[in-house]
Amino acid sequence: MSEKKKIVILGGGYAGVKAGKSLHKIFKNDDSVEITLIDRKTYHTLMTELHEVAGHRTEPDAIRIDLRTIFKGRKVKVVTDSINGVDFEKRELKSDNRTYAYDYLLIACGSDSNSFGIEGIDEHAFTLWSYEDAIKIREHVENMFALAAIEENEEKRKQLLTFAVVGGGFTGVEMVGELGEAKNHLSEKYGIDKKEVTIYNIEATPRILNTLKDEKQITKVENRYKKLGVELLKNAALVKATADGFVLKDGTEIKTKTLIWGAGIKVNNFVGKLGLDAGRAGRVVVNEFMQSLQHENVFLAGDNVHYEDQDGPLPQIVEAAEQSGHTAAENIGALINKTEMHKHKQNYHGFMVSIG
Ligand SMILES: Cc1cc2nc3c(=O)[nH]c(=O)nc-3n(C[C@H](O)[C@H](O)[C@H](O)COP(=O)(O)OP(=O)(O)OC[C@H]3O[C@@H](n4cnc5c(N)ncnc54)[C@H](O)[C@@H]3O)c2cc1C
């Protein structure tokens, strides 16, 4: 009997999970193929709800779904391990403890935060790109209210009650909306006058939510900010962060112990070091089949992909991750079954932003 063909999916995010489900459908009755999904976590994170956990609206457990539960009854074996190397010649993935052989590999490791080398960001700003990040912000924000409640020095109290979110994209806007809501119940809980709380959204360009073309929608968001008491600083590039606050390009200094960086993302750090063709923000360039340009048996999907067609570049959103995961899975299936590969088609239903 010939050995089974091994498909390995690296990453159990939106792209990896969708690919696993699609591959199960293709190969559920085919004993000559085995499918393994490896993620460093035991769970799939609902990334789109991280800000709700960070802002105290959603309980942390609500945004984690056990990967083994997702694939129960499906032909996908889930392995928990953190991969730190790929040998494309030997067709092996490596972790600290072992190696995993593959015949076909799908890399879907997502994004990492990008500080663009701005002084002090890596050391002093919070990021919002994982479950752990969300928990850190959640606990820190509450701690600031608790400390402010017993702080008698006016300047220090003001610093504790100042919160800044950098970036007027979806992540920044959604995070700031949650803080705008959280301040009400945290002020009440710690006996603080909510007028003492300052929340900034800092945006380097003249406009927030640049992906939204309709100016009326931007006005709506800005009006919502006013209602929530959020101060929007536009044309305000942050040039330096310290343990005590940050400095803007025009020299304005703002004192805070809470700086949340939501101003940029790039390819997942590990994927960025694999030596694959790099496009914008280090994302891996793929062809219309979501296939690596260098290795015929390697596919990529989701946020770690750079792909562009007549509909524009693949955006870093859930629908794009799921669709590209599906395309990659179908094309791995096509290679194994020796059928024709399918070109990727982008098709989105629009954007949704929640502001508190
Ligand atoms: C706060 C926030 C709000 C958002 N809101 C929205 C929204 O409203 N709508 C929307 O469409 N998009 C939103 N997004 C973007 C969306 O979450 C991403 O586009 C999506 O998660 C990308 O899916 P992915 O599968 O490519 O990566 P991810 O979902 O990030 O999954 C990557 C997986 O790879 C695993 N992994 C990474 N490296 C390794 C390794 N070396 N070894 C093992 N496992 C590894 C990780 O543990 C993770 O499970 C938001 C993102 C954030 C952070």
Number of domains, the chain: 2
Which is it for the CA torsion 51, 54, 56, 61, positive or negative? positive
Query: Residues 71, 132: one domain?
Result: no
pLDDT at 2: 66
pLDDT at 353: 87
Query: How do 33-39 and 253-255 pair as beta strands?
Result: unpaired
Residue 322 lies in a domain: yes
Domain extent for 185: 121-261
Query: Residues 244, 201: one domain?
Result: yes
Residue 108 lies in a domain: yes
Which ligand 1 atom is the nearest neighbour of the CA of 50? 1
Query: Residues 126, 226: one domain?
Result: yes
Task: Say how many Å lie between the first and final Cα of the chain, rounded.
Answer: 58
206 burial type by CB count under 10 A (0-12 exposed, 13-18 middle, 19+ buried)? exposed
Residue nearest to atom 10 of ligand 1 (CA): 317
Which ligand 1 atom is the nearest neighbour of the CA of 11? 34
Tokens of 278: 């790099």
Which ligand 1 atom is the nearest neighbour of the CA of 353? 8
Query: Residues 10, 46: one domain?
Result: yes
Residue 343 lies in a domain: no
Which ligand 1 atom is the nearest neighbour of the CA of 39? 44
Residue from 284, 318, 324 whose mutation best tests the ligand 1 pocket (most atoms within 8 A of CB): 318
Query: Residues 272, 247: one domain?
Result: no
pLDDT per residue rounded down to tens, the chain (356 residues): 568 999 999 999 999 999 999 999 999 999 999 999 999 999 999 999 999 999 998 999 999 999 999 999 999 999 999 999 999 999 999 999 999 999 999 999 999 999 999 999 999 999 999 999 999 999 999 999 999 999 999 999 999 999 999 999 999 999 999 999 999 999 999 999 999 999 999 999 999 998 888 999 999 999 999 999 999 999 999 999 999 999 999 999 999 999 999 998 999 999 999 999 999 999 999 999 999 999 999 999 999 999 999 999 999 999 999 999 999 999 999 999 999 999 999 999 988 888 98
Residue 225 lies in a domain: yes
Query: Residues 249, 323: one domain?
Result: no
Residue 333 lies in a domain: yes
Strand-pairing partners, residue 105, are: 8, 298
Ligand 1 cavity residues, CB under 6 Å: 10-16, 38-41, 45, 47-48, 50-51, 82-83, 108-110, 128-129, 170-171, 174, 268, 270, 302-303, 316-319, 321, 352
pLDDT at 213: 86
DSSP, residue by residue, 65-128? EEHHHHTTTSSEEEEE--EEEEETTTTEEEESS-EEE-SEEEE---EEE--TT-BTHHHH-EE-
pLDDT at 173: 96
Query: Residues 257, 150: one domain?
Result: yes
Strand-pairing partners, residue 9, are: 37, 106
133 burial type by CB count under 10 A (0-12 exposed, 13-18 middle, 19+ buried)? middle
| pTM of the entire predicted model | 0.95
CATH number at residue 192: 3.50.50.60
Tokens 């101003």 sit on residue: 263
Query: Residues 302, 222: one domain?
Result: no
